């Protein structure tokens, strides 16, 4: 049948040559997925079971990223979400219901804490915050209705490394699931499923993306039951990730090993140097004995990444600590981390219950890919100029 040019815009007979082979995964964008015939139409989220049905459940780009994260984490399946915080919210929505009880470490990433306080409690989920260093002692906080135990190891900003296997052992005895925010280890340095975790999440925004230009999250599950539970909630919450961002994350993965190696070396060098400085009371780097839970890092981790905190000596005032951050030249000031640029952010835990009382004296450093000597000189200059 001859076609009008307007129809040709939609149904073209033109073809580009075939046989292009590239090293990068194509970006498949798409909401509508075509079915071969009317009887084949279905709206099932599990694309592994039925093939592709709708872009919301993943395109080949999204699902390739998911499969690759799953492969690295040794899980059963992975879901990709539009951000790390989206992954946190989805896990809570999938596994909790009114009347359940969830345990959350005091050291958790602040928006994760806020979700528990502002959303879960509103939906009649009981929330208890626990000291991150409690280990097997978590047992004393269990209730008949405890369904989920969150872990984040090391914890955000205060960096406590948790005894995850002890927590998982205790949680499994009462039939509770254990969820871990495994972002700091990039899903590489801590083998979560081998240490008893049931569900992991990562902000792929950080090390996997690696260049501060995308927001993505992942959720990886140990077994099919958790996969089914998460999949149906993922469908109904409708949180599809952008295939363009997924393609950037796939590109980021290719350099993850060399980036992590460089970041680990530079961060360790600077952490050890800072520990000798008279201005610094404490370096909260999991690979240093001064970090709470260092013994668990030594026992359970195979490496360290580029994020750690420093605590200034008692005599330093808040304006002085802020002056230190402002005096840095190569370290920029900004949220998020794990990109190629070094960052510094000062925190104030005076009014945060459950956190060690470092007050205004704590600064978190994200180490980037700059030269280590230049970064050290920048820190030295800022330490001198804060006094
Ligand atoms: C430990 C941790 N988990 C989760 C998130 C949330 O990730 P996103 O920024 O992709 O929502 C962050 C972000 O800073 C984080 O530091």
CA dist., res. 211 & res. 216, Å (int)? 12
Q: Are 369 and 339 in contact (CB under 8 A)?
A: no
**What is the Å distance from ligand 1's center to 193 Cα?**
21
Q: Please give the number of the atom of ligand 1 that sits closest to the Cα of 152.
A: 1
| Triad 11, 12, 15: Cα angle to 5° | 140
- Partners of 201 in beta bridges: 181, 219
Pocket probe mutation, ligand 1, options 82, 206, 212, 239, max atoms within 8 Å of Cβ: 206
Shortest CA distance to 151 belongs to which of 114, 122, 124, 177? 177
**What is the Å distance from ligand 1's center to 11 Cα?**
43
Name the pairing type of β-strands 199-203 and 146-152: unpaired
Shortest CA distance to 245 belongs to which of 66, 7, 3, 12? 66
Residues with CB under 6 A from ligand 1: 83-85, 109, 156, 181, 183, 203, 205, 215, 217, 336
CA dist., res. 364 & res. 356, Å (int)? 15
**What is the Å distance from ligand 1's center to 203 Cα?**
5
pTM of the complete model: 0.97
Q: Please give the number of the atom of ligand 1 that sits closest to the Cα of 85.
A: 11
CA distances 368 to 197, 206, 212, 365, Å, are 29, 12, 11, 9
**What is the Å distance from ligand 1's center to 84 Cα?**
5
Neighbours of 194 (CB within 10 A): 10
Per-residue pLDDT of the chain (387 residues; tens, 9 = 90+): 899 999 999 999 999 999 999 999 999 999 999 999 999 999 999 999 999 999 999 999 999 999 999 999 999 999 999 999 999 999 999 999 999 999 999 999 999 999 999 999 999 999 999 999 999 999 999 999 999 999 999 999 999 999 999 999 999 999 999 999 999 999 999 999 999 999 999 999 999 999 999 999 999 999 999 999 999 999 999 999 999 999 999 999 999 999 999 999 999 999 999 999 999 999 999 999 999 999 999 999 999 999 999 999 999 999 999 999 999 999 999 999 999 999 999 999 886 777 888 999 999 999 999 999 999 999 999 999 987
CA distances 157 to 293, 341, 355, Å, are 14, 18, 10
Three-state DSSP state, 91 = helix
Chain centroid to CA 347: how far? 20
Burial of 353 (0-12, 13-18, 19+ CB in 10 A): exposed
375 contact partners, CB below 8 Å, separation of at least 6: 266, 270, 330, 331, 342, 367, 368
**What is the Å distance from ligand 1's center to 110 Cα?**
9
């Amino acid at each position: 049948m001859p076609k009008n040019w307007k129809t040709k815009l939609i149904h073209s007979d033109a073809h580009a040559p075939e046989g292009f082979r590239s090293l990068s995964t194509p970006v498949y964008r798409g909401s509508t997925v075509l079915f071969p015939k009317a009887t084949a139409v279905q709206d099932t989220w599990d694309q592994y079971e039925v093939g592709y049905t709708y872009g919301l459940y993943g395109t080949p780009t999204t699902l390739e990223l998911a499969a690759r994260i799953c492969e690295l984490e040794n899980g059963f399946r992975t879901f990709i979400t539009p951000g790390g915080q989206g992954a946190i919210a989805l896990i809570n929505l999938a596994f909790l219901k009114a009347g359940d009880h969830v345990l959350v470490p005091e050291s958790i990433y602040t928006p994760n804490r806020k979700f528990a306080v502002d959303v879960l409690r509103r939906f009649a989920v009981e929330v208890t915050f626990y000291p991150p260093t409690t280990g097997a002692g978590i047992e004393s906080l269990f209730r008949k209705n405890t369904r989920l135990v969150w872990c984040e190891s090391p914890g955000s900003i205060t960096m406590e490394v948790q005894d995850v296997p002890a927590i998982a052992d205790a949680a499994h005895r009462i039939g509770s699931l254990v969820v871990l925010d495994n972002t700091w280890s990039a899903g590489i340095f801590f083998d979560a499923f081998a240490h008893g975790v049931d569900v992991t999440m990562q902000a792929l925004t950080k090390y996997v993306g690696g260049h501060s230009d995308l927001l993505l999250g992942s959720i990886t599950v140990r077994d099919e039951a958790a996969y089914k539970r998460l999949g149906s909630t993922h469908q109904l919450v409708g949180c599809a990730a952008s295939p363009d961002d997924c393609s950037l994350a796939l590109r980021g993965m290719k350099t993850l090993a060399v980036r992590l190696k460089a970041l680990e070396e530079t961060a360790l060098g600077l952490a050890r140097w800072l520990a000798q400085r008279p201005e610094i009371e404490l370096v909260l780097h999991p690979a240093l004995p001064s970090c709470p839970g260092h013994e668990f890092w030594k026992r359970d981790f195979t490496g360290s990444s580029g994020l750690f905190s420093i605590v200034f000596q008692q005599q330093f005032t808040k304006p002085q600590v802020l002056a230190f951050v402002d005096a840095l030249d190569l370290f920029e000031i900004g949220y998020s981390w794990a990109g190629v640029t070094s960052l510094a952010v000062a925190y104030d835990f005076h009014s945060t219950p459950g956190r060690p009382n470092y007050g205004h004296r704590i600064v978190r450093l994200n180490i980037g890919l700059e030269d280590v000597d230049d970064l050290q000189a920048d820190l030295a200059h800022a330490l001198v100029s804060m006094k």
